Amino acid sequence: DLQIKVPFPFYLLYLQVIKCKAAVMWEANKPFSIEEVEVAPPKAHEVRIKVVATGICRSDDHAVTGGLVTPFPIILGHEAAGIVESVGQGVTSIKPGDKVIPLFVPQCGECSSCLSTKGNLCSKNDIGSGAGLLPDGTTRFTCKGKAIHHFIGTSTFTEYTVVHESAVAKIDSAAPLEKVCLIGCGFSTGYGAAVQTAKVEPGSTCAIFGVGGVGLSVVMGCKAAGAARIIAVDINKGKFAKAKELGATDCVNPKDFKKPIHEVLMEMTGHGVDYSFEVIGCTETMAAALACCQYNYGVSVIVGVPPAAQKITFDPMLLFTGRTWKGSVFGGWKSKDSVPKLVADYMKKKFVLDPLITHTLPFTKINEGFDLLRTGK
């Protein structure tokens, strides 16, 4: 018998609990509390990351308000970039010092969605179940003697976090983390909804409901795909200048009309849009986005996270005539494969991220950041 002895990585014996600052959400609809938390070392096939920059996303706020059901107490945050501090046993693809982006949609490479060319929503995700734990059913966070839940496998509102190896992507070491953190959710979600999920075609007409950070990324995706007409729809007219800067050809405020917005868009286009995107997470606008599509071959994509326990009632004739209604999580990208490529594309200036960043705040002012989000600023 030939025996090959693999040296044991003895540094694993010395991995310590890290004490650091985190924004803990103790219960729904309360401000974040900056606390000292204990972050346990990574177990086998896990990675501990020093978070350098994290974005505030509407999905985090959905969790605060209960629109997205999560257990409490919890450390939210899912759009970030950082540097690997340590790795657990068996991690081979990533090493301490690597620049990385955590992935709220993991890529295990083994489930039916990962193995299919048609899907990207890995079955190991924690979006549907909302267990608030790592894949082994435990947490790495403790505060004041209490276990603190993880958020969709990432939890980035903390100076250090632990994620599973399948939920982290190694990126270009030269990438500016305070910019590319947006590739962890907002940019990739919107841009991919246009180029991956809808597969927008050159010369087409698109309508985007909601032009916050993700909606603006849809605008950029539609423009990159060669859409001839890109209609931004928002009740906050303060969003329109940036939408036009990034490629919108028309801007429409539903408050300016007495008739339903889908009728306005039908009249503007003559027959409805080729592609529509709902980037708000509101059932009324989801129905309107479907209704404004061309009756036979229009495609409508739900990008905003739907509120829990709400249902949509709609006329099935809208679908019978041929429209397609689709959902898109993380822009349809296979996360571990695609995020490093998107970062590389950013470094080659194939798209911009700076216009999506409105404010940069110190971590301790996270509550002010959420106030800016909620007031549409």
Element (H, E) at 209: strand 205-209
Is 116 marked active-site? Answer: no
Could you identify the residue written with the tokens 């906050």? 236
Provide the 8-state DSSP code for 198: I
Is 59 marked active-site? Answer: yes
Residue 87 CA to residue 15 CA, distance in Å, equals 9
Bridge partners of 141, per DSSP, are: 39, 148
Residue 138 CA to residue 132 CA, distance in Å, equals 9
Strand, coil or helix: what is 170? Answer: strand
Is 181 marked active-site? Answer: no
The CB-side HSE value for 321 (13 A sphere, CA atoms) comes to 12
Which two three-digit tokens encode residue 187?
A: 């940019």
* In the chain, alpha helices (H): 58-65, 112-115, 177-180, 186-192, 213-224, 240-245, 261-269, 283-291, 317-320, 335-347, 366-374
Annotated catalytic residue within 108, 114, 181, 185: 185
Is 129 marked active-site? Answer: no
Angle between helices 283-291 and 261-269 (to 10 degrees): 30
Annotated catalytic residue within 62, 150, 164, 262: 62
Bridge partners of 163, per DSSP, are: 47
Is 113 marked active-site? Answer: no
Strand, coil or helix: what is 312? Answer: coil
How is the beta sheet containing 146-148 ordered, strand by strand? 74-75, 18-25, 33-39, 141-143, 146-148
Q: What is the largest CA-CA distance in the chain?
A: 82
Residue 356 CA to residue 242 CA, distance in Å, equals 9
User: What amino acid positions are annotated as catalytic residues?
Assistant: 57, 59, 62, 78, 185
